[in-house]
Amino acid sequence: MKIAFIGLGNMGGGMAANLAQAGHEVRAFDLAPTALARAEEAGCTAFTSVREAVDGVDAVVSMLPNGKIVDSVYRTDVIGVAPVSALLLDCSTIDVATAKAVGEAACSAGYEAVDAPVSGGIAAANAGTLTFMVGGSDEAFARAEPILAIMSKAVIHAGGAGAGQAAKICNNMALGIHMIGTTEAFAMAQKLGLDPQRFYEIISVSSGQSWSVTSYCPVPGVGPQSPADNGYKPGFAGALMLKDLGLAMEAAGTAGIDAEMGKRAFELYSAWVAAGNGDVDFSGIIQSL
Ligand code: NAD
């Protein structure tokens, strides 16, 4: 297939490389020349605009920073420019309302489109082991699945347009809450005289276990390799966790849900990022305890 890939940053770079390695013709565009150069090294073809990249393609995949950019790129340079037969897949993490609006604009113009945000960080993007949660019609999902499968360990149909973003935002709200709870538990265990490694052995097979404990332990030297073992270099930057918690708070407001723990996680990450930790991995919040 001819696939346009827009946004070749930390995540998109690895994802595009996996599509190219699987034998697809990947037409890459990014505003950053360094990102484009990396994509070329990985077997993609570089283009100088979105409009050129989407010319004559079978699918468009995007991995962009936020909803405003996604909205602008799709409305200005993709819808009405890419062939109407092309499947549109936005994999960025953005707000549900923008995802639905872009999906509806694409459908009104005759395209099939999905919102397909991912779980898993840069390592999973490079390894092709992301989890995709997909919003869109059954027909659009059926077309999206084989493309997403190349970059993933799981592709799950969440529901109609915007449902992928809804799932992602709920997942990451739980993650932010779990991570803060995990950092408090480890800090308290240590103050109570427990050895962190011994506490890890206990909690990882007890009911306090979570992904934040066993896959991403915030304590250096404990559990499998994680950003804590690398000076809290992302990984998943604090600023991105704050962005996702902000989206979760917006969605909670719209849904009329009083997400008290989500709100507290948002407040704690807001203060921590404002103190200059936006580039630090989100598990580094343990250092503020
Ligand atoms: P990034 O900043 O590394 O990459 C974004 C890329 O988009 C950059 O290379 C930038 O130059 C490019 N870009 C910006 N505006 C553009 C435009 N108008 N046209 C073309 N390119 C443009 O960010 P990332 O870490 O790759 O994250 C991308 C998305 O994935 C975000 O929505 C993020 O929330 C989500 N995400 C990230 C992670 C992670 O661990 N980093 C995990 C899951 C989801």
**Position 268: which residue type?**
L
Q: Confidence band (pLDDT; 50, 70, 90) for 113?
A: very high
Q: What is the pLDDT of residues 136-161, one digit of tens each?
A: 999 999 999 999 999 999 999 999 99
Q: What is the pLDDT of residues 7-44, one digit of tens each?
A: 999 899 999 999 999 999 999 999 999 999 999 999 99
Q: Are residues 212 and 264 in the same domain?
A: yes
Helix (H/G/I), strand (E/B), else coil: 61 = strand
Q: Are residues 31 and 144 in the same domain?
A: yes
Cβ contact 80:105 at 8 Å: no
Is pTM beyond 0.95? Reply is no
Q: Which domain holds residue 147?
A: 2-160
Integer angstrom CA distances of residue 77 from 2, 72, 133, 140 = 17, 8, 25, 21
Q: How far apart are CA 174 and CA 227, in angstroms?
A: 19
Q: Which of 153, 168, 233, 263 is catalytic?
A: 168
Cβ burial, residue 194 (10 Å; 0-12/13-18/19+)? middle
Q: Confidence band (pLDDT; 50, 70, 90) for 234?
A: confident
Q: Are residues 197 and 283 in the same domain?
A: yes
- For the CA of 13, the closest atom of ligand 1 is 26
Total number of domains in the chain: 2
Q: Please give the pLDDT value at position 120.
A: 87
ipTM above 0.85, yes or no: yes
Q: What is the pLDDT of residues 77-111, one digit of tens each?
A: 999 999 999 999 999 999 999 999 999 999 999 99
CATH for 121: 3.40.50.720
- Kindly state if the Cβ of 115 falls inside 6 Å of ligand 1: no
Q: Are residues 73 and 29 in the same domain?
A: yes
Would you tell me how many other CB atoms lie within 10 Å of the CB of residue 96? Answer: 24
Q: Is the peptide bond before 235 cis (omega within 30 degrees of 0)?
A: yes
- For the CA of 122, the closest atom of ligand 1 is 40
Q: What is the pLDDT of residues 75-85, one digit of tens each?
A: 999 999 999 99
Q: How far apart are CA 63 and CA 32, in angstroms?
A: 13
- In the chain, what is the greatest distance between 2 CA atoms, to the nearest angstrom? 64
Strand-strand pairing, 87-90 and 118-119: unpaired
